[in-house]
């Protein structure tokens, strides 16, 4: 309790000691500031990078699940049946109460044969044509820039209407911000544009080949219409929204279970969930962050060694002061705390400076890269905690040596 009462006086003495040797103290602070700034920069880049990747993954729908037939079989003697293994009757069955972890479900049907020719007048485009239902936009986290999505009556009656992506709109209708009501041709058949999707960015995923093509170069039409053109009722795959990210694997298992039972194991099914990609991303970025912080911490270790050296010098220079304090009755713990407080204050000021520099680096990188590079509260808290911890560790040995000095020896050696 007595130590706590004299703590303000100890901080005052530590401040005066730092000012008396301001050049030495400043160098120690710079060493700590560089280490903290390096750690903060790594944390900032990691946090911002994760947010950027998550932003792109959200364009797939965070709760998305994909279920499709597995065309490869483990049994080499097994006869492979034709077909996608999913049709309209399966879709009706799955839309019931069989899968409690499923919130929304949409079939995805692709045109058979060569890629369809998309044109409007004398302009052409190589868009991906997809047959879907009314729930697809919500599942895939698609937003409309103008217009509307497909309606249930249009899907049921196979009406030739289409929702197009921004790339399609700019290719086929250049200089026309509102192409609603215009017509385009897909393999010679006319479709009326009823909506334009808001542009999505998957630049980072595209750079590593994981974006699945230009997400803005799509045309969404009624899935029964594509089935009619294909001449069957097959569904290429199901895209589903789970009730939550955590329920994605359960939703996939329920869907595959129902399909397997319906076909009595004739077809095998596979599934993918965005939750698994999120987990993989977290693991990779988490590992990179840890490695980066360990590497950046080397600068902090150098700074801590510098503080320990400075405090050792301070103890040697103030031997007479220590002897006088001990002679007039100062407790060893008070002498020890005095030097530890000075060490902590140096590291804390250096840590705050490093924190400011690290945040400034994040702002500069944000300006030049456009990434949301800002440190999280956890990173800031850890930086301050580490600063204090380094001060305690770096000051402990010199402070302990000062506290163990005998008054007579200290006064004689002064």
382 within 8 A of 355, measured Cβ to Cβ: no
pLDDT of amino acid 290: 79
pLDDT of amino acid 279: 83
pLDDT of amino acid 102: 92
Instruction: Look at the alpha carbons of 73, 79, 82, 87 in this order and tell me if their dihedral is positive or negative.
Output: negative
- Between strands 144-147 and 161-164, the pairing is unpaired
Give 170-210 pLDDT, tens digit per residue: 999 998 889 999 999 998 899 999 999 999 887 666 555 55
The Cα 18–Cα 397 span in angstroms is: 19
44 within 8 A of 361, measured Cβ to Cβ: yes
pLDDT of amino acid 207: 54
- Coil/strand/helix, residue 219: strand
Which residue do the tokens 């900032």 mark? 44
pLDDT of amino acid 173: 94
The Cα 320–Cα 328 span in angstroms is: 12
The Cα 405–Cα 330 span in angstroms is: 12
pLDDT of amino acid 359: 82
pLDDT profile of the chain (414 residues), mean per 10: 59 68 78 83 78 77 89 63 87 87 94 90 92 94 94 94 95 92 93 94 61 82 94 93 91 93 87 84 79 76 79 71 67 73 82 85 77 68 78 76 64 54
Q: What are the Cα distances from residue 103, in Å, to 61, 148, 255?
A: 13, 22, 12
What percent of the chain has a predicted confidence (pLDDT) above 90?
A: 35
The Cα 56–Cα 61 span in angstroms is: 10
107 within 8 A of 92, measured Cβ to Cβ: no
Closest-CA residue to 44 (of 353, 395, 375): 375
């Amino acid at each position: 309790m007595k130590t706590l009462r004299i703590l303000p006086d100890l901080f005052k003495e530590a401040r005066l000691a730092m000012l008396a040797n301001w050049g030495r103290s400043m160098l120690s602070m710079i060493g700590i500031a560089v280490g903290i700034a390096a750690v903060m920069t790594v944390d900032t880049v990691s946090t911002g990078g994760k947010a950027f990747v998550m932003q792109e993954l959200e364009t797939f729908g965070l709760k998305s699940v994909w279920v499709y037939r597995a065309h490869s079989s483990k049994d080499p003697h097994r006869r492979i049946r034709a077909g996608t293994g999913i049709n309209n009757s399966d879709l009706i069955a799955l839309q019931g109460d069989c899968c409690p972890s499923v919130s929304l479900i949409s079939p995805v049907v692709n045109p058979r044969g060569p890629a369809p020719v998309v044109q409007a007048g004398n302009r052409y485009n190589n868009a991906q044509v997809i047959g879907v239902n009314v729930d697809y936009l919500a599942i895939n986290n698609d937003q409309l820039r103008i217009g509307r999505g497909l309606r249930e009556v249009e899907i049921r009656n196979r009406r030739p209407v289409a929702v197009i992506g921004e790339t399609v709109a700019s290719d086929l209708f250049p200089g026309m911000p509102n192409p609603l009501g215009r017509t385009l041709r897909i393999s010679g058949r006319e479709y009326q544009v009823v909506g334009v999707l808001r542009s999505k960015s998957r630049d980072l995923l595209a750079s590593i080949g994981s974006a699945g093509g230009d997400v803005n170069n799509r045309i969404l039409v009624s899935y029964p219409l594509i089935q009619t053109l294909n001449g069957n009722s097959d569904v290429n795959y199901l895209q589903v929204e789970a009730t939550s990210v955590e329920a994605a694997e359960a939703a996939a298992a329920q869907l595959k279970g129902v399909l397997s039972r319906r076909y009595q194991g004739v077809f095998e099914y596979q599934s993918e969930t965005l939750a698994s990609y999120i987990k993989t991303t977290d693991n990779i970025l988490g590992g990179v962050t840890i490695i980066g912080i360990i590497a950046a911490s080397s600068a902090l270790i150098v700074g801590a060694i510098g503080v320990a050296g400075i405090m050792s010098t301070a103890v040697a220079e103030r031997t007479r002061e220590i002897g006088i304090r001990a002679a007039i009755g100062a407790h060893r713990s008070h002498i020890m705390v005095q030097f530890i407080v000075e060490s902590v204050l140096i590291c804390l000021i250096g840590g705050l400076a490093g924190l400011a520099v690290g945040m400034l680096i994040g702002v500069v990188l944000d300006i030049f890269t456009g990434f949301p590079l800002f440190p999280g509260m956890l990173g800031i808290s850890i930086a301050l905690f580490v600063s204090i911890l380094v001060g305690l560790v770096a000051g402990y040995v010199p402070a302990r040596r000062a506290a163990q000095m005998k008054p007579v020896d200290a006064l004689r050696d002064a």
